[in-house]
Chain A
Amino acid sequence: MRLFPLYLLLFALGFGLVQKMLHQVVPERLKVEWYETIQAEVDVIFLGSSHVFRQFDPQLFDAQRKEEGTPYRSVNMAALGMDVHEEAYMLGRILKQKAEPLRWVIVEALPLELDMQNENDFGLRRIEWHDTPTTWRLVRAIWQSDLPNAEKRSLLQRHVEHWWRRTLSLARGMDGVAAFGLKPLEYYADQSSLGAQRNGYVPLEVATADQKSLGMRQEFRRSPQKLLRAAEELPLVDDGGQPSSGQLAMVREMEALAKQHGVGLVWWIHPNLKRYSGWRQMKANGDIQHLIAYDDPERYPELYRVLAHFDLYHLNRQASERMTMNFAFDFVESVLAEEN
């Protein structure tokens, strides 16, 4: 028993050695690895969920900017199901090794979710973004929320468990074996994709859609009126007023981090069917500098037409390309003009 602390130490040493080795061997997610190879050419990065991954074509965005003679390019670093926490994590990850030309990060403005829906869908990525700063920020947001205590406890437990899983490199071994030439089991495969144009954009088409997307499309085609009804009701729904303290803290931290690295954040709101609270208020209060919002059917009726949609929540390829062009125009007209 006297030697028990020594044995515990040796156990920790063995455990730590493997952890260290795994951190060396396990590859970054595909898009981060790819970005690191081209970062010297990139000045704009897109971050967000499928709304960005499936709808922002960097090639079109760059073509529009080329007219102004910018020599750099943009890349789409979004991924299916990316939430605001993962966006914050990715921003930190990208800025950690910031290359000189990077000037703008376009971030999808999303609600601050404290819960994790469909926990297993993006399991490995969810574990990855539960690093200490992101988890700590989330823990504070949960603590400060108005949720009942039992729900707070349950959420805290789940997020801390994810943090533990990250700390212990849970399931990362499957990624690690790829380094030895062994293909990981299919369900561990990286869910991000660079797309046919090798710029991180994968348009939503029947040929490239997964089963879930095809199901959503079928449902949309059965009752497209849902879209029209939601669009009609949308202008009546206000912005939700003040942001929550957790949302505000997170956004301020992201803004400060970006500023510290000489990068500007542009928040973009997808043509949603409901308004996410707080964003317009944060812009009015000066918490965020740039906001480009498309969730306005009166101003952007073309984004709320049935023929423009692949499913209820996503635009089809043609509409996405038009939206990218619009965004490039707005970016140049409002963001760059404001900066200058």
Chain B
Amino acid sequence: MLFTEFRFLAFFALVFTVHWCLRGPKARKAWLLLASYGFYAAWDWRFLSLILGSTLVDYFAGLRIQDASSDRGRKWALRLSLFANLGILGFFKYCNFFLESTANLLSNLGFEPNLPTLAIILPVGVSFFTFQTMSYSLDIYFKRLAPTRSLLDLSLFVGFFPQLVAGPIVRASDFLPQLATPRKLASIAFKPALFLFLSGFIKKAVISDNLAPLVDAYFADPSLWSVAAAWIAVPAYAVQIYCDFSGYSDMAIASAAMLGYRLCLNFDAPYLAVNIQDFWRRWHISLSSWLRDYLYFPLGGNHGSKFATYRNLMLTMLLGGLWHGASWNFVLWGGLHGLALALHRLWHRGPGGRLPDSMLRRGLSTVFTFWFVCVCWIFFRAPDFDAAWTSLQAFVLFQGAGEQSIDTTWLWLFAALIFAHEIAQRLRKVDLLQHTPTWLFSFFYGILFALTFAFMRVDHPPFIYFQF
């Protein structure tokens, strides 16, 4: 069930109505949990057992970490949580990848491996909910959080449907306190939430989905297209993936808000970043901060030697790349970002840090950062290294083999829409929206909703991040 499908709108209307009609926080939470499990079961009910298993393991591990009398006991409980969650992730997401990579390595070394390939289905959202549950146990272990005694609360934290399948990756320290306080309908800012939902809907259904065929056609065989086409298709993919993922996040945040819960911001105009470090503060914020807090810092962060800092950066980004998908393309994508972060750190601590700040410098830096991010997206999107290399030659070295071109009329319109959206978001005119008369808001909301439907694609392509 996709957020852009009619059945989701009907599902949400039902969940919303029953939720606010129920009296008592416990009944509401139980209803939300039931709805969330129903939402997930609409994909594949069998994988509900993974969510239930992960929740139960972390529930008991969290209590054990808190109650254990010895440090050894605490460590064992944490290991159990990590083993269970990384086990689920490793088996369902990376098992075949490691088997294939090992087989390739062995055959390159002259052996004749006969390793099996397993028919494993990747459960939707597995990367998101396992990271969420792991952060719960880790926070308790590091004494940043007290475990909840309510299994219902923890189950809802893991399974809450707006963010279940593609984030944002919510922290227990943010969400559990919200579950402990009764939600009030009167305290919800409906107009900003409805507007956020619609803007996410437009980003996904109008912009991303309409760009997809163009991008797909280019990456299916980059050798057919001209250099100019590469310079359109690669940034078009950057826009497509941004609108796809941030559109989902917007709709998730807005849906949660209408049910009385606050989810963290996941995107903050990332393509306006002035450098790569700034980009990672704005792109998929919930993942980058997760990696920072649970991987980079535990590895030592920037508190060790220079070498250790750069090693930690690279390791974090390589694993961040691998988190996205079981393929060397993603590892390379993460590695490129890690390298860029390391180079930026070197530059910033060296000559770059002494340069005077100016509008021109910031503008050029923003353009260069966007260009570099686009280069990295090539490895993210290309189906194989050959296609990536051909695209890279066209996009970086201006060497294009083919002659096919792309009609740019619509791209300008989409670019203008994105730009307007980003500027509006930067200006944060939420107060203005909140003070708009409701009758006027309702009327214009109807107009915008109808226009959105009019420019949607006939089918409903899934969100790109669902595959992660």
Could you list which residues of chain A lie within 8 angstroms of chain B, going by C-beta atoms? 3, 6-8, 10-19, 22, 119-120, 123-124, 126-127, 161, 164-165, 168-174, 176, 182-183, 185-187
Residue count of chain B within 8 Å CB distance of chain A: 27
CA gap between A182 and B439 in the complex, in Å: 33
| Stretch from B42-50, B90-98, B127-135, B453-461 at the A interface | B453-461
A115 to chain B, nearest CB (A): 16
| Stretch from B251-259, B376-384, B390-398, B443-451 at the A interface | B443-451
Chain B interface helix/strand/loop/mixed: helix
A171 to chain B, nearest CB (A): 5
Partner of B443, one of A13, A126, A186, A187: A13
CA gap between A14 and B446 in the complex, in Å: 4
- Which chain B residues border A172 with CB–CB below 8 Å? 454
With contacts A7-B438, A161-B6, A185-B210 known, is A123 near B459, CB below 8 A? yes
Q: Please give me the residue from chain A that is nearest to B444 by CB atom.
A: A14
CA gap between A178 and B442 in the complex, in Å: 29
A85 to chain B, nearest CB (A): 16
CA gap between A233 and B453 in the complex, in Å: 49
Partner of B454, one of A22, A120, A185, A187: A22
State whether the Cβ of B410 lies closer than 8 Å to any Cβ in chain A: yes
- Which chain B residues border A176 with CB–CB below 8 Å? 454
State whether the Cβ of B112 lies closer than 8 Å to any Cβ in chain A: no
Determine which residue in B407, B413, B455, B458 has the highest number of CB atoms from chain A within 10 A of its CB, and name it: B458
Other A-B contacts than A119-B459, A185-B214, 8 sampled, CB-CB below 8 A, are A14-B449, A15-B449, A15-B450, A18-B447, A19-B450, A22-B454, A164-B6, A169-B453
Partner of A168, one of B439, B443, B450: B450
**A174 in contact with B446 (CB, 8 Å):** no
- Which chain A residues border B455 with CB–CB below 8 Å? 171, 173-174
CA gap between A7 and B410 in the complex, in Å: 34
B190 to chain A, nearest CB (A): 10
**A8 in contact with B453 (CB, 8 Å):** no
CA gap between A109 and B377 in the complex, in Å: 51
CA gap between A123 and B454 in the complex, in Å: 14
**A120 in contact with B451 (CB, 8 Å):** no
A90 to chain B, nearest CB (A): 19
Within 8 A of A (CB), among B424-443: 438-439, 442-443
- Which chain B residues border A8 with CB–CB below 8 Å? 442
- Which chain B residues border A124 with CB–CB below 8 Å? 458
CA gap between A187 and B453 in the complex, in Å: 17
B350 to chain A, nearest CB (A): 47
The 8 closest A-B pairs by CB, nearest first: A14-B446, A173-B454, A123-B458, A18-B450, A15-B446, A11-B446, A7-B442, A10-B442
B1 to chain A, nearest CB (A): 12
CA gap between A19 and B447 in the complex, in Å: 9
State whether the Cβ of B213 lies closer than 8 Å to any Cβ in chain A: yes
- Which chain B residues border A22 with CB–CB below 8 Å? 450, 454
